[in-house]
Amino acid sequence: MTGPILRIAVPSPLYQTFDYLPPLNSDLAALRPGVRVRVPFGRRQTVGFLVELGADSTLDPALLRPALAVLDHEPLLPADVLALLQWAHRYYHHPPGDAFAAALPVLLRQGEPAAVPQPPPLWRITAAGRTALAESVALRRAPAQRRLLDHLAQCPAGLDAETLRPVVRDCVATLRALRARGWVESSAADAPPLPETALAVPIAPLALSVAQADAVATVSAQLDQFQVFLLEGVTGSGKTEVYLRLIEAVLAQGRQALALTPEIGLTPQLLARFRERLPGPLAVLHSGLSDRERLNAWLLARDGTAKAVVGTRSAVFAPLRAPGLLIVDEEHDLSYKQQDGFRYHARDLAIMRGRQLGIPVVLGSATPALESIQNARTGRYHLLPLPERVGGGTEAPILILDVRRQPMTEGLSRPLLERMRAHLDRNEQVLLFLNRRGFAPILLCHECGWLSQCRHCDARMTLHLRQRRLTCHHCGDNRSVDTVCPLCGSVDLRAVGHGTERLETALRPLFPGIGIARLDRDSTRRRGSLESLLADIHNGDRRILIGTQMLAKGHHFPDVTLVGIVDADQGLYGVDFRSSERMAQLILQVAGRAGRAEKPGIVIIQTHHPDHPLLRVLVSEGYPAFAAAALAERQEALLPPFAHQALLRAEAVDPERALAFLNAARALAEPIADGLELLGPVPAPMERRAGRYRAHLLVQAAQRQPLHRFLDRWTGLLWAERKDRQVRWSLDVDPMELY
Ligand code: ADP
Ligand code: ZN
Ligand code: ZN
């Protein structure tokens, strides 16, 4: 036998690595874990990942095939990412090949060389540009050009086009037009790097508040060890400023910082502040990039050219040359948990990565997850509170508005409408939050009771009036709106319930002449439409803002003084035990949009359950008191974070099959589930979705360790038993949604 056995993670649904021999005539020194290897797989070739070198194989060596080629001279992933992926695929019981694939940009998965890219050219304002801006006459008819120039004037070090995209929709064309007028210039991609002085931060740093200074000092004193910090700060308390100071401290040591954020498209401000404050190129990783852009950003991070890296969920696997700090902004956000395939939680993995690296991890939120609050209480996390707003503006008071027996106009009560009028009369802005897009969630026959049921799901189809379609928000199926009842032929079909589109339609005649901006997934689908809506809001062209949770994130609307939560009831009695936590977080996130400037704001919550105990605590005492009450309920009921869960999901076209699989799984579990609770199997709350019947079996344990020991054995049995190929199943460790 010659040479080692290569254990290769190959993209495949199988829970194993695959053994290969080294390529013929290969340099054994090049075979280091972390390099990519081209291998034959079945009848095709694919790119795999060398995870380990082994001494032997459980297979007959004569049957092993040699790999075809080693694609990298150097390991593609640094050792810490390799270790993180190894840990994560085991913890989440996910096939290693698929887990490794999640960590790599598509082009690298396809075998593209990992060549160092050129940093993008930087655009700068010229002296002539500054003059033009000051005179402003020349720019009166070119608002886009003015916005760009304005932005560039504040960043003398220059910005790349990608950064400017959120500022102006068509930024490349606008930059070209500005260059033609001699008002901006760009550094060519191959120009020598700017001298250090030019990179120096031009913006005078803010004087920190006492709480901010405490937080910065505490973390800065422990940059060389692992510790999780929970930065709990109300909206506008200056969390971003704390992140920036800490990143600067880490950069000063010659190390890099990685910051995770839920959705980059929705937080252009965060990105802009990072770019303005931090020197050098920023690597930005998110799903809106082209494959090439993504690879470039990834390589900038790996080579250490980018000092700070900002990205969404999968950026937790971003390679860093000299990692010094990990930040998770809005750590409670659900989008950190991948909801299909490799179901990892990026916040939890960031903590594991920080532990493996021995560096601090900062979790920030105005409304931390109850899990994180509990960890702070037990001392596992170090709590850093920022209890007050900085830089002007007080927190808006929140009022509960009892709408029982109130006359309602399209879902809005009279007191709320009157308040809207008062604020609009003062030339201020009003924000209405309704977490349901479309016109109405149900179309109903008034004659016979027929409902617009989806053919594939246990759900109703939502009426989208503007597009004249009924759409299922669960499977995407859609069809034209019925004009007569398919059952009885009556034409008396009625739209029941309210969505954002209906609210917009209803408000137009009530507030004639006032511009309305609707922000939801439908109105922002086209590229650039979100940016232009935001611009209209900021310049006051639209003063009524209607939106789904898309509105709740990250935006600053200084003129919004009234926030109306149209329907808080959905969240209060949801099927999931996390419903009330989600509702509280959403309410406070939305409320945080009000009164950010000098003008005081107010928040009104419409509800039919004004005495709901958790809602009352939230409104009268704030989030920490709410969290304490909600945690007490969880403890009473032995729910997370006082228990640990894993959810085995199964689905099949035939309803019996999914349940039969889970019953068999339960039978396999019982002999080994000592001290654990097995709950189910039961059909999922929405049993049929996209034509498949879904069910699940919940495993719960008081301690994490026994749960994972059990899962190791159980999944082994499940993989070995895989008999019914009609059933799709998956395991969700630490599930965030139970359906
Ligand atoms: P958060 O991220 O907690 O919502 P931000 O960091 O966005 O808060 O800060 C809110 C606003 O307050 C921003 O406009 C920021 O520039 C400003 N700000 C932050 N820290 C200070 C400070 N120490 N003094 C004055 N203004 C500040
Ligand atoms: Zn009918
Ligand atoms: Zn459907």
- Give the number of other CB atoms < 10 A from CB of residue 68: 16
pLDDT band at 354 (very low <50, low <70, confident <90, very high): very high
Q: Are 258 and 307 within 8 A, CB to CB?
A: no
Domain coverage including residue 161: 122-187
How many angstroms does the Cα of residue 392 sit away from the middle of ligand 1?
9
Same domain, 525 and 624: yes
Q: What is the pLDDT of residue 607?
A: 94
Same domain flag for 345 and 301: yes
Angle formed by the axes of helices 346-357 and 79-91, nearest 10°: 130
Encoded amino acid at 280, one letter: G
Instruction: Say which ligand is closest to the CA of 267.
Output: 1
Residues 425, 361, single domain; the answer is no
Q: Which of 121-125, 307-311, 474-478, 586-590 has the highest mean pLDDT?
A: 307-311
Report residue 411 as tokens.
Answer: 């879902």
Cβ contact 136:199 at 8 Å: no
Distance CA 71, CA 77 (A): 13
Question: What pLDDT score does 335 carry?
Answer: 93
158 and 217 in a single domain? The answer is no
Domain holding 722: CATH number? Answer: 3.30.70.360
Peptide bond just before 323 cis, omega within 30 deg: no
Higher-confidence position of 669 and 289: 669
Check if the beta carbon of residue 98 is closer than 8 Å to that of residue 342. yes
Question: Which atom number of ligand 1 is nearest to the Cα of residue 270?
Answer: 7
Best mutation site among 390, 556, 589, 593 for ligand 1 pocket (most ligand atoms within 8 Å of CB): 390
125: Cα separation from own chain's centroid: 34
**Judgement on whether residues 529 and 411 belong to the same structural domain of the protein:** yes
Q: What is the pTM of this model?
A: 0.86
Query: What is the mean pLDDT of the segment spanning 519-545?
Result: 87
- Of all residues in the chain, the percent with pLDDT exceeding 70 is 95
Q: Identify whether the C-beta of residue 54 lies closer than 8 Å to the C-beta of residue 33.
A: no
Q: Does 681 fall in a domain?
A: yes
Domain boundary among 599, 633, 667: 633
Instruction: Determine the distance separating the centroid of ligand 3 and the alpha carbon of 729, expressed in angstroms.
Output: 20
The residue whose CA is least distant from atom 26 of ligand 1 is 391
- Rounded to whole angstroms, the Cα distance separating 9 from 15 reads 10
What is the percentage of the chain residues whose pLDDT exceeds 90?
59
Reported confidence tier of residue 243, pLDDT bands at 50, 70, 90: very high
Mention every residue, 6+ apart, whose C-beta is less than 8 A from residue 448.
Answer: 485, 487, 488, 490
pLDDT in tens, 138-177: 777 888 888 888 888 877 778 888 778 777 777 888 888 8
pLDDT: is 537 or 351 the higher one?
A: 351
Residue closest via CA to ligand 1's atom 23 equals 208
Domain finish residue from 60, 78, 109? 109
* Domain stop point among 362, 386, 410: 386
Report the separation in Å between the CA atom of 235 and the middle of ligand 1, taken as the mean of its atom positions: 9
Position with higher pLDDT, 368 vs 393: 368
CA angle 203, 205, 209 (to 5 degrees): 150
Tell me the pLDDT of the chain averaged across its residues.
89
Residue 561 lies in a domain: yes
Ligand 1 centroid, distance to 210 Cα (angstroms): 13
Q: Output the pLDDT for position 172.
A: 81
Residues lining ligand 1, Cβ inside 6 A: 206-209, 212, 233, 235-241, 390-391
Tell me, yes or no, whether 67 and 183 share the same domain. Answer: no
| Closest approach atom of ligand 1 to CA 366 | 3
Which ligand lies nearest the alpha carbon of 366?
Answer: 1
| d(C-alpha 119, C-alpha 122), whole Å | 9
Pull the structure tokens for residue 465: 């009036």
**For residue 468, is it within any domain?**
no
Same domain, 183 and 217: no
**92 lies in some domain:** yes
Residue 17 belongs to a domain with what CATH number?
3.40.1440.60
Residue 586 has pLDDT above 60, yes or no: yes
Which of 346, 378, 332, 384 minimizes the C-alpha distance to 642? 378
- The rounded distance, in Å, linking the Cα atoms of 472 and 86 is 38
467 falls within a domain: no
Question: Which of 76-90, 253-267, 439-453, 495-509 is predicted with the least confidence, judged by mean pLDDT?
Answer: 253-267
pLDDT at 322: 96
Residue 1: pLDDT over 60: no
Reply yes or no on whether the pLDDT at 197 is more than 50.
Answer: no
Calculate mean pLDDT across residues 411-427: 94
Spatial contact of 472 and 459, defined as CB atoms under 8 Å apart: yes
Mean pLDDT (whole number) for 56-68: 85
- The CATH number assigned to the domain holding 254 equals 3.40.50.300
In one-letter notation, the amino acid at residue 692 is R
Q: Report long-range pairs for 518-522 (Cβ below 8 Å, ≥24 apart).
A: 518/546, 518/547, 519/545, 519/546, 519/547, 519/548, 519/550, 519/551, 520/437, 520/547, 520/548, 520/550, 521/437, 521/548, 521/550, 522/437, 522/438, 522/464
Question: Residue 453 falls within a domain, yes or no?
Answer: no
Amino acid, single-letter form, for residue 672: I
Indicate if 325 and 425 belong to the same structural domain.
Answer: no
Residue pair 524/437 in contact (Cβ under 8 Å)? The answer is: no
274 and 307 inside one domain: yes
Omega within 30 of 0 (cis) for the link into 641: yes
Q: Give the tokens for residue 113.
A: 């060389």
> For the segment 86-118, what is each residue's pLDDT rounded down to a tens digit?
999 999 999 999 999 888 999 998 888 887 656
| Among the listed residues 374, 249, 289, the one whose alpha carbon sits nearest the alpha carbon of residue 642 | 374
Judged by its nearest atom, the ligand closest to the C-alpha of residue 484 is 2
**How many domains, in total, are found in the chain?**
5
Describe the strand order of the beta sheet including 462-464 as a list of residue ranges: 462-464, 469-471, 478-480
Tell me, what's the pLDDT at 150? Answer: 84
Is 511 a residue whose pLDDT tops 90?
yes
Centre of ligand 2 from the C-alpha of residue 493, in Å = 8
221 and 252 part of one domain? yes
**Same domain for 174 and 67?**
no
Nearest to 45 by CA among 71, 26, 25: 71
694 and 628, same domain (yes or no):
no
Q: Is 70 exceeded by the pLDDT of residue 232?
A: yes
Between residues 203 and 222, which one has the greater pLDDT? 222
Residue 446 falls inside a structural domain: no
* 3-state SS string for 539-590: CCCEEEEEECHHHHCCCCCCCEEEEEECCCHHHHCCCCCCHHHHHHHHHHHH
Using the predicted structure, report yes or no on whether residue 192 has a pLDDT greater than 60: no
So what's the pLDDT on residue 203? 60
620 assigned to some structural domain: yes
Are 567 and 455 in contact, with CB atoms under 8 Å apart? no
